[in-house]
Structures are given as structure tokens and as C-alpha cells.
Chains A and B, each alone.
Chain A
């Protein structure tokens, strides 16, 4: 019979079992497995399977694929059991200095494996050959020496590789934000600090440090405190401890100061010391700084972006220069009043071209008189179409010898007849405004022309829309009563429609009108990618197409500095407009034969790089300066105006120097050079040159030589707002007079008076005029 054990013995056994069970259930904590206070050098890679590595604290103290913790122990340092346990495996026999790639001991070299009571396992690798002091089955205590460190197995130098296996899986011995491990250490301490070398926990008050200070198996438990401040935008609250860090303050925390008139950073100051960089260094812009002043950011001190203009610079700082056809748009709109011969601004019919433009109160025409511009004929008020520049054109609609006015404004197309040169009459409604097409409103503004396409002596109203160029034939008679319809059916050129591929701004900017065959009817030319094409008017239609010179894209005529110089002018005096332009070989004209174009007449080379600037290539003008019936060439470049006399078929030869409109004096500004006009303002059948200066219009007239006498025109000054594009782009001065002796111009009384050009020959003419008056006076008295 077996004896029952006494109750006290049973109680002891039960208590012992409970103690063992409790002990087994409690996680075994590790001490530092060596004496020196060394921190881990290369930790466990928590970046599972991905390139690179991440240690427990999300740092880089590790390497890709590492499955343990490497401690930089010197050769022969005692390796200690990190906790009490039982030795389950040892390996010895590997050389002390294995090397990178050495496979001895399954790459672990000489090693010891210890199983702990909670089922975890520690592994100590790369130990010294023959140094192992324990064998399989041995029980080891916490901190007991088990061998010495070396570099056996696959190792690049002496160190201890500590592996921690939990649940059969190699696990990071450390806990932290980038690992799911609960951690193994008795006291882990801070990042890159040595872990504790104590085998037992020393209870103390729990504080927020990531450690189990009170040895209850919990870390930083139940810790809470007040936080924050009530200064500025902040408010107080409470926060709790997590992972050794105070977190989650429930109050409103401080944040970075913003430019909002508030104390965001809760330091008692508002918007203090707020300066930030601004702007860009792209294009013409420069970076700068802006400062917070009264809750608003100040203007950026750098150069800011402005709308793109045609100047070969990146004005809007978007990395592109003169993009979105800005130069082509300039050519289309700003040159409209300067290019086509045949129109006239002689409002009073005295044979002198008058100066018209849209001013602050509407259209105003300043009449050229003897010696200058005096009387003003006011036209209607002008309200442009939404988003468009004002568009006006002048020409003799009724054949009375006086220029009439047509406008494209908010009310549509309308015309006003000159009333004996003293006023404009009532509005005559023009044809409906066509659809603008691909080029938009500027396609209308830039193609409004008054040209006589049917040869009846009356200008017809031409406008190019999406459907092509339509010239509405004038039905006005000199003495017809106002109020009736002003225009008959249109002469249409559909070849210039959007559908025909002519809708691009660049195409429209090459549209020119002139009488190519000398039949008194205005014809049309334009350039496309394959060259210049012209259409001849027979009065009812542009019935015949002729090819111009092969000024194609392939021949180098595509760049705007080439194609913008396309001109129609009669350079050989045969009554037929010839086709001229700047080519890669220099300026050239092809003489019209009436049904095509013939011989080439060469002009100046215009080869300097400055000729690729719009202030030069857009200043090119053709006009008859010497009254020989042949159009001469004037150009404005860096050094001012220079003109070359046309010798007809012999080409351009004799050169005249014109006014000193130099770049250095600011004449390369669009508000200046874009206003260059050639017209006969003194009625001497010679074209004069007008241009708007800062203080108003100036004209240079014949005085024995071309462009020698300076005449002041209307005060279209910068100060009065005439440097704005909606003003200066509307300046119209065109036409050649019926003829008038230059001395009559000189002798005409004028208070504004002709003004001598400095250093010019006009002084002698004035002196001669005065002497002539004295002689005539004495002769009269003698009789």
C-alpha cells in the first residue's frame, strides 16, 4: 500500500509547481552578455525582405538581412550567458579568423546555444576556438562565462553575434517603433546605449523612459501628466507616456509660426521673424524674399513674372521664350496699320496724309497742314470688343478724295464718312462680323483693311474670318445721303480660311494687299509653309492664283525675322506692287510681271544678329522717299534709321541716313518702333517718316534730301498714356498726296511750325525762304 504524502508536503509540491509555472510563464529578460558597456553596432534588420535595412529604432545601425545583434567585442573578451538556461548546442573547431564567406559552423563559427525557461533561445556566434566552457546539457546561470569572443565562421572581424529566438523564430532582441518585438532586455536603455548588465530588476518609481522601472513586467504604465501652455493659440491638456516618450497632448499644441496675425508658436509674439524665399530664377525672373507684415506677405523682392512679350526673353518665366506665337500676334496686330500701301488717311482731301488714332475719347484725326499738324477732326467714341484691341481702318469709301473711317468695335463693323474734312458723319453699319476662327479676335483686329478690290475708285471693307478673306464692296457715292446700305456683296477668298489651313496667327501675319497687276484693283498675297501665294482680283472675285517666290519653310523663310518682313511695294515704278522681304541671303524683291513674279532685285544684307530682334526686323518700311515713283527701303536698327534708294531693276544702291532713332535712346521699345509709319504728310508726293516719341508724334520730311526736316505732330505722349498698346497700335498715317511744292509747305503759316532737325540742311531752306520773301516784297514795292 502506498502511503499518501502528508498534506504539508503536497502543499509544498503544489506551491513549487505554481512557482515553476509562474516562472515559466514570465518572460525571461536578458542582461548584457559581456562586461564592457558596449552598445549594439549592427542590429537586426526589421526591413523584412526589402532592400536596405531598418533597426528597431528605424535607424540604419544594421545591414540587409541581418538576423541578430552584433556587438563589437575585442578578441578574447569573455562572453556571458545573458540569462539562466540550459546549453542545447555547441560547435567548436572553426578557425579564430574565419573570413567573409567562411562556412564553418554553419557560418556561425564556434558557438553556444542556450534554451531559457520561457522557451526563448539565445545564440552566441563567432567565438574563440577552444574557448567554449560549456557543453550540451549544462545548466548555466545568468552572467556565467561560456567562452570568449573571436571572429570564427563568416565574419569580417572580432565581434559577438547574439541571436534571440522566440517561438522558434529569430527575433530582434530590442523593442522599438520599427520592430514588432517585445524586446528581450532587462533594461534596454536609450538608442545606441549599452543595455543593462544586471540580471535582476531593481524596483524604482516608474518614469517615462521606456523601461520597467518598478519591475512589474510593464513598461511606462499608467503615466500621465499635464502639458502645453495657454499662451497665444495654444491651450493646456494632458499627455501619456508611450515607448519612453510623452505623447498625445490633448491641448492645442504650438506649431510653426504662420503669417496670419496669430501667435502660432505660443512664444508671446505674433508673426515674428517670418521671411521666406519667393519667386524663381527662371527666365527674366529672379528669386527674392518676402516678409510677413501685419499678417500678409509683402511683395517679393525679386523680379516677378510679367506677361510674355515678343523680345526674345522669357518674360513670364515659364522656361519658354516668346511662346504661344506672341511675336506672331505682335506682327499681326501691331503692324496692321503700317504695312499695306494703298490706304489713305487724308481725311480732309488736301493731298496730305493726316494722323489718326484712337485716343481717350475716341477716334481723333490730326490734320496735316502747311508746316505741321493743327486741326483735329474727332470721330466717334470707341468701345472695343470684349478682350480685343481697338481696330480701325481709313480709306476713301465714297470716292470723294477724303479718307473715311471704319471701326470694328463693340457694336460690330461700322463706318463714318468724312464730312468735308471737318467731321465724321453718322455711323453706317457695316457687314456682320464674321466668326473669328482659330486665331481669335486678333485675327479680326489685325486683318481689317480698306482697299479698293474692284477698281471703282472706292475703298472696300476687307476682313479675314474663319471662312476666309471677305472684301465687302463699297456702294457709297460722294454725295449720297447717309443712312442707306453702304456695302454690296463681298468678294471672298476662301483659300485663306481656317478649313484651308490658313488659320494660324503666323499665317495671318503675312497677309498683304496691293495692286500686283496694275489694274487698279487690290490683290492679296500671303505666305504658307511652301512659299508665297497671291490671288488677283478681277473685281468680283480673287479669281486667279499666282505663285510667289519659293520663300518656303524649307528655304529658310520660316523664322519670324524672315517672314515678318514680307512686303508689297512698287520698287520699280511700273505701277505694279512687287514682292519684297528679308531672305537668308539678304533683302530682296521679286518684280511683278502682272501675272507672276520675275527678276530678283537685291537689297542690303541685313545679316547682323541684331536683325533677328523684333525692334529691327519689324521696323522695315518701304516708301517713295524721293518722289521718283519707286519705293525705297528704310530700316531702323541699333544705330538708327537708314534708307536705301531703289534703282528699279538695278536694285537698291544709294543710301541715306535717317533720324537717329537708336536703341541706346530707347527706340527699340515696342511703343516706339511699332509706330513707324511712311506717308506723305506734306503733299509733295514723297513719303515721309513718322514715329511716336515719348512726347508725341514726330515726322521727318523732305528737305532737299529725304527725312531731313523734323515736324512735330500730335502730343501722343507717354505721359498721356500713348505708350499703352491699345493707343499706339491704332496710329494710322498712310497715303501719298496729289503733289505740292515743298516751298509751299514751308511757307505755310504754322504756329507749331516746322522744326529744324539738328545739324540738318533745313536751316538753309528756311534762310532761302526768308530771303525769297524779302525779294518779293521789295519787287512789289518797286512796281
Chain B
């Protein structure tokens, strides 16, 4: 792994944001570590800070370090609080076809990733499990795997699994889709070792997509609700895991039936009071009831910064330049009716 020189990181941070030196000072004990570790230190250092500006500025200052770790064509798939990065590259697909999206995934930085990741081959999606060294992955033959060095060989948690994967910030739940194209229905995976289980919603809801799971296990997703002439897809949600409505999907009546919907290759993300997701137009921000909060931002492949109201986003659908978005600024701009760039 290439080692980023601390002096370069420092100067980049200072150029990006004058206040960032404070943040980097919090990480001073790890001078000499690689970029991944420095990222981890950055997240930890920012946990207690309330002002988002230094967060965005300091994170932005570390983008060149991440770029040095990326190979051409790679984008950031996920990152962990210790600074570990999952980098991915899309395997080329034939033109005018509909093959599954296949990713070549590798881990850099932090405490690394399970060794089994290198043997897992092409994946449809992969995400770190917060607070652990394990990760979840969906293979191109639709197996949901738990990769954990402590458990040895990968554990197959489910078959007929489809991405994208949504991981609740607390790390207790994950969500995905199950079935066969296009008959895909949302499924909720309880990750606690003692109560690990997977529940799949009524297949009659299919086709479904854009699943988000919250810390309480409630799901939010788009259902096509087939069967009505001229019918449109609509946002739905369920009750919290373990509740009476845990498997009962109800439409979000406030959300417009015409969209926008989360139909990008990544799952929706929750930050502050908003839900953020991508589609062909870019990154959308909606409120908890599914109401759009403004025009989409030209940003793709969003990745949550652990514990922060900020996202790392890419300039294009297949990757490209990185930048950091401040969710609070997005919300404020939407409330003021201003376009967010």
C-alpha cells in the first residue's frame, strides 16, 4: 500500500480549509501512518465536534490521499470508522444488455478487511458492518455472505439475494432484496449474533427497489405495485423490527407517486432528518415522509462518513472525482429554496 506523506496531507488539509489543522492536530499521534489510518483518526476526532464546516473541510482535505489509493476506474464503495476503505471497479458489461452489475472490490487502510474478500471474486455489493471487522457481501450468483476472519470461511446467510445493501448506522440491521428479477421483495437481516435472522416481505409487493433500513429495523423502499393500468411506483415503509407492522408495508402518502425514487446502484442513506439517494438525475434529498426537499445534486455513488452529517460523493455514475457534501447545508439550502451545487 502506498504511504501518503504526512506533510503532503497536512498541506492539502490547510489549503482546503484553514481550520482543518485543528482536526489534524487531534490525529497527531498517528503521524507517519497511511491515509486510511489518518482518515480513521479524522472520523474519531470529529465525533465530538458540532460545527460541520471543519468536518467538511478536513474531510475534503483528505480526498487527495484517498485519490492516491484509488486505481484508475475505481470508486469508493464504503469506508469504516477506522479509515478502512472499500474500493470498487465495475466489470465491463456488453452494450445493449442487462447483465448484473459486477464489482471488483478491494480493501485498503485501517485494520484491513477479512482475508476472504480477496477470494470472494466478483461481487454485486459489499459493505462494512459498523463496529466490527466483518463485512457483508452479495456475490454475482446472489449469495449473501458474511465475511469475518473470526469465523474463518465465509458464511452464506441467504440465497436469491440482490443488492444494493443498506446497513443501519448502528450496525444491528441490514436490508437487501430477494427473489428473481424482476420479482424482488425487500428483506431485513437482523445482525445480532444471538438473534440473527432474515425476514422477507410479501413477494406480491414486487417489483421493489431502493431499500433503506433504519436503526430500529424499519424499512423504506419503492414498490412498483404492479397491476394497475398506468400505475406508478411509490415509496413504502414498514414498522420497526419486532413490531406488529414489521412486515407490513404501507405507502408514504405524502410522497409523490411519480418519484423521485431511489433506483441507483447504491442504497438510500439517512443523515440528520433526511433521506438521500441517487437516481439517473443525481443525488436527491427527501424528508422522512418522502417529500422532495429540492432539486437533485449532480453527485453519485454516495458514501456516508461514519457518524457524520456528511457524504463522500463521486462526480459520475461510474466514479470520477470525489468531493464531500455537507448534509446540513443541503437541508438549509433546500429550506431556503436555493439550488445546491
Partner-B contacts on A (CB < 8 A): 41-42, 49, 63-67, 70, 72, 89-95, 97-108, 111, 113, 123, 125-126, 135-136, 151, 153-159, 161, 170
Contacts and interface: CB of A to CB of B under 8 A. Distances in A.
Given A63-B99, A106-B183, A100 B208 contact: no
Contacts of B279: 95, 102, 104
Contacts of B177: 103, 106
A156 B264 CA distance: 14
Given A66-B99, A93-B233, A106 B207 contact: yes
Given A65-B141, A157-B96, A104 B228 contact: no
Contacts of A99: 280, 317
Interface string B60-100: 00000000000000000000000000000010011111111
A93 B227 CA distance: 13
Nearest to A68: B98
A135 B98 contact: no
A151 B96 CA distance: 8
B264 A102 contact: yes
B226 A89 contact: yes
Interface residue range, chain B:
35 or more
Interface in B254-289: 258-259, 261-265, 279-280
Given A70-B96, A108-B182, 15 more contacts: A41-B96, A72-B96, A91-B226, A91-B233, A92-B231, A92-B232, A101-B265, A103-B262, A105-B224, A106-B183, A106-B209, A107-B98, A135-B227, A136-B226, A136-B229
Interface of B: 90, 93-101, 140-141, 162, 164, 177, 179-184, 206-210, 222, 224, 226-233, 258-259, 261-265, 279-280, 317
Nearest to B231: A92
Nearest to B103: A101
B263 A125 contact: no
Contact of A107 (B184, B228, B258, B262): B184
Contacts of A159: 96-98
Given A63-B94, A159-B96, A100 B101 contact: yes
By DSSP majority rule, is chain A's interface helix, strand, loop, or mixed? loop
A93 B208 CA distance: 13
Contacts of A95: 263, 279-280
B269 to A, nearest CB: 15
A103 B98 contact: no
B258 A93 contact: yes
A100 B90 contact: yes
A67 B180 contact: yes
Contacts of A125: 98, 182
Contacts of A108: 181-182, 207
Contacts of B230: 92, 135
11 contacts: A42-B97, A70-B96, A90-B231, A93-B261, A106-B208, A107-B182, A125-B98, A151-B96, A154-B100, A156-B96, A156-B97
A95 B180 CA distance: 21
A153 B208 CA distance: 12
A517 B315 CA distance: 95
A735 to B, nearest CB: 78
A99 B99 CA distance: 11
Contact of A101 (B95, B101, B231): B101
B224 A106 contact: yes
A667 B341 CA distance: 91
A93 B224 contact: yes
A108 B208 CA distance: 11
Q: 8 closest A-B pairs (Cβ-Cβ)?
A: A106-B207, A135-B229, A106-B182, A101-B265, A108-B182, A157-B96, A104-B263, A103-B209
By DSSP majority rule, is chain B's interface helix, strand, loop, or mixed? loop
A65 B228 contact: no
A121 to B, nearest CB: 11
Contact of B99 (A65, A98, A105): A65
A128 to B, nearest CB: 14
Contacts of B90: 100-101
Contacts of B179: 106
A170 B180 contact: yes
Nearest to A157: B96
A103 B261 CA distance: 10
Given A67-B180, A94-B263, A156 B98 contact: yes
A655 B264 CA distance: 93
Nearest to A111: B182
A159 B259 CA distance: 24
Contact of A155 (B97, B164, B183, B232): B97
B98 A154 contact: yes
A136 B97 contact: no
A86 B280 CA distance: 32
A487 to B, nearest CB: 76
A101 B124 CA distance: 9
Contacts of A65: 99-100, 140-141
B181 A67 contact: yes
A155 B99 CA distance: 8
Contacts of B263: 94-95, 98, 102-104
Nearest to B210: A103
A64 B98 contact: no
B93 A156 contact: yes
A710 to B, nearest CB: 78
B228 to A, nearest CB: 7
B233 to A, nearest CB: 5
A170 B181 CA distance: 10
Contacts of B228: 135-136
B207 A91 contact: yes
Contacts of B96: 41, 70, 72, 151, 155-159
Contacts of A92: 230-232
A70 B317 contact: no
A98 B281 CA distance: 10
Nearest to A158: B96
A126 B280 contact: no
A126 B182 CA distance: 11
Contacts of A101: 90, 101, 264-265, 317
A148 to B, nearest CB: 15
Given A90-B227, A91-B233, A97-B280, A104 B95 contact: no
Contacts of A103: 164, 177, 209-210, 262-265
